[in-house]
Amino acid sequence: MSFKCPPSCCICKRRHHTLLHRESKPTALNPPAAMLGRQKSPTVLLGTALIHVRDTVGNGQTVRALIDSASQISAITSACCNRLGLKPSHWTVPVTGLSGQKVPDVQGIVQLTIQPRGNPIPFINVKPWVLTAITSDMPARKLPAQVRARCNHLTLAGPTFDKPAPVDMLIGADIFPQIWNDKSRSLGPGYPSVYSSVFGWVLIGPVQEHPDIGAQSMLVSLVPSIESIMERFWKVEEPEAAPPQFTEDGLCEELFQAKMRRDSRGRFSVPLPFRSGRSTECFPGSRQVALNRLLHLERKLSGDQTLYNAYRKFMQEYEELGHMSIAEGAGQYYIPHHAVQKVEGEMSKLRVVFDASAKCHSGVSINQCLLVGPKLQQDIVDVLIGFRVHKVAFTTDICKMYRQIDVLPQYRGCQYILWRDSPQVIVKDYVLNTVTYGVNSAPYLALRVLR
Beta bridge partners of 70: none
Query: Looking at the chain, which residues constitute the CATH 3.10.10.10 domain(s)?
Result: 258-450
Strands 268-270, 406-407: parallel, antiparallel or unpaired by DSSP? parallel
CATH class for domain 44-222?
mainly beta
CA 197, 47, 107, 98 torsion-angle sign: positive
CATH code for the structural domain at 258-450: 3.10.10.10
C-alpha–C-alpha distance, residues 378 and 39, integer Å = 68
Is 0.85 topped by the overall pTM?
A: no
Query: Looking at the chain, which residues constitute the CATH 2.40.70.10 domain(s)?
Result: 44-222
Closest of 98, 96, 119 to residue 106, by C-alpha:
96
Closest of 326, 332, 358, 325 to residue 414, by C-alpha:
332
Closest of 30, 123, 108, 36 to residue 76, by C-alpha:
108
At residue 143, the pLDDT reads 85
The tens digit of pLDDT for each residue in 83-112 reads 988 888 876 666 766 666 677 778 888 988
At residue 5, the pLDDT reads 46
**Residues in the chain with pLDDT values less than 70:** 1-41, 91-94, 96-101, 210-229, 236-246, 277-281
* Degrees to nearest 5, angle at CA 430 with 426 and 431: 170
CA dihedral 426, 432, 436, 442 (to 10 degrees): 150
The tens digit of pLDDT for each residue in 39-71 reads 566 778 888 899 999 888 778 889 999 988 888
The residues, any chain, with a CB within 8 Å of residue 442's CB and separated by 6 or more, are 402, 435, 436
| Ranges assigned E (strand) in 164-285 | 169-171, 180-186, 193-197, 200-211, 221-222, 261-262, 268-270
